[in-house]
Amino acid sequence: MAHLQDIQLIEYCNGQLSTAARSEVDAHLAECELCAEKLRQTRLTWEVLGGWEAGAGKVDLASRVLERVEAEQADTSDAGPFRVQDWVWPVAKLAACVGLAAVIGHAAGLAVRSAPQVMTVDAADPQQAANELYLDIITDNDPTGLVSVILPPETTDTPDFPDATEASEEEV
């Protein structure tokens, strides 16, 4: 027979084995020193456990838990449906995120911003200035007619002043 299991030893100590099973265990215990020692330790354990008195503990845990729950309910009943503690932390996190996003956006804008371009055209030539400012894509043919508002109209008329060469020919 194999070594006895702990449950068999417990049932042997309590007298719960049948007569056939009890005789098999007795025969094995007579031959096996290891199982006989385990039986001695099991009996000793049961004797010690049997000597303990099952009484109430020194700490009444149930009443302490109930007192704590009642105290928490009393604290929250005065605060109303919305307590400051419930919304302060989420609002603070949201404000920190918005501030961080603003700082990152500002830093990114500074990093990407290019230097202002200097116009290379003569300020007296409005058409060339319009071309450099990319206003030449908006023409008078455009339904908005923005160029006529922004730029002075182009004139092909000659000035009223007589040319210096024409005056010298008339005098001669």
Mean pLDDT for 152-166 is: 57
- Phi/psi class of residue 28: alpha, beta or left (left: φ > 0; alpha: ψ in -120 to 50)? alpha
- Phi/psi class of residue 80: alpha, beta or left (left: φ > 0; alpha: ψ in -120 to 50)? left
Higher pLDDT, 154 or 10: 10
Phi, psi (rounded to 5 degrees) for 69:
-65, -45
Extract the tokens encoding 24: 């098999």
pLDDT at 172 over 80: no
SS3 171: helix
What is the reported pLDDT for 12?
87
The H-assigned helical ranges of 113-132 are: 126-132
pLDDT band at residue 40, thresholds of 50, 70 and 90?
very high
pLDDT in tens, 69-105: 888 877 665 555 566 667 788 889 999 999 999 999 9
Residues 6+ apart with CB under 8 A from 119: 129, 132, 133
